[in-house]
Amino acid sequence: MIEYAVITGASSGLGKAFAFELAKRKINVVLISLPHEGLPEMATQLMKYSIEVAWYETDLTVHENVRLVTDWINDHFSVSLLINNAGMGGTKRFIEADTDYINRIIQLNVMSTSLITRALVHNLMRQPRAYILNVASMAAFSPMGFKTVYPASKAFIHHFTRGLYQELRDTNVFVSVVNPGPMKTNHDATTRINRQGLFGRLGLLSPEKVAAISIRQLFKRDTMIMLGWGNGISWLLMKVLPIWVRLPLLTKAIEREIKMERCTR
């Protein structure tokens, strides 16, 4: 029986890095991403590693689309690894954010991760050994102004994963969460990171490095994956600094990013 790894948000950044990391390990993949983001071309590149590649283009912020893609996966593939990587964030004043912007963050980060996991968990349980890796963020460990909804959504992912791990610990499905810090996934992300100063760059890693560490630690059955000393320091600061110090400190860094962005327009 041929087994596959399912990756959401697979067309770029960390999702793409996950796909190539798995391909190097000769693991077949099912790629999911938005339409017109180059999945067919990416699939051709991945096939050079002598693996099976399937792909599906859809918008996971729409509930019905989640049902359709998970039905397709369950009908055609045996899934031994699910990587819930799709997510979105951004930097914006809450009072200036439109409802569509807020809804898309919640639907993609919270709803799709939960429903995809629920739809595929029995498929995973049918395999001899299976894994779920959810991508949260260092932002999961603290609220912050001007990103208001995003850290809350990633806190959900972190706690959802930890609870699911406990529920499934006596099954064949191992559940883990990774909390990346800043990543230079594209030009816009690089610009935002540079605007946040030293604190914003703490724990900076490439998507390829994050993917390599994450997959290695997942298969070592690490329940909460930390990514190097920089992320360790960030996590420790989040734990040690009281909220009345941490919250304004982080908010000030994000506010500086907004002001610098407006100055460059």
> Domain range holding 201?
3-264
CATH of the domain at 87: 3.40.50.720
- What are the distances in angstroms from CA 18 to CA 61, 96, 185? 21, 34, 13
- What are the distances in angstroms from CA 102 to CA 73, 84, 134, 153? 28, 20, 21, 11
Tens-digit pLDDT profile for the chain (265 aa)? 799 999 999 999 999 999 999 999 999 999 999 999 999 999 999 999 999 999 999 999 999 999 999 999 999 999 999 999 999 988 888 999 999 999 999 999 999 999 999 999 999 999 999 999 999 999 998 889 999 999 999 999 999 999 999 999 999 999 999 999 887 665 555 555 555 555 555 557 889 999 999 999 999 999 999 887 777 787 788 888 888 888 888 888 888 777 666 555 4
CB atoms within 10 A of CB 43: 17
Domain count for the chain: 1
d(CA 51, CA 46): 7
Q: Which amino acid is at 12?
A: S
d(CA 163, CA 157): 10
Q: Which amino acid is at 161?
A: T
Closest CA to 134 of 150, 151, 112: 112
Q: What is the pTM of this model?
A: 0.90
**How far does Cα 251 stand from its chain's mean position?**
22
Partnered with residue 32 across adjacent β-strands are 8, 56
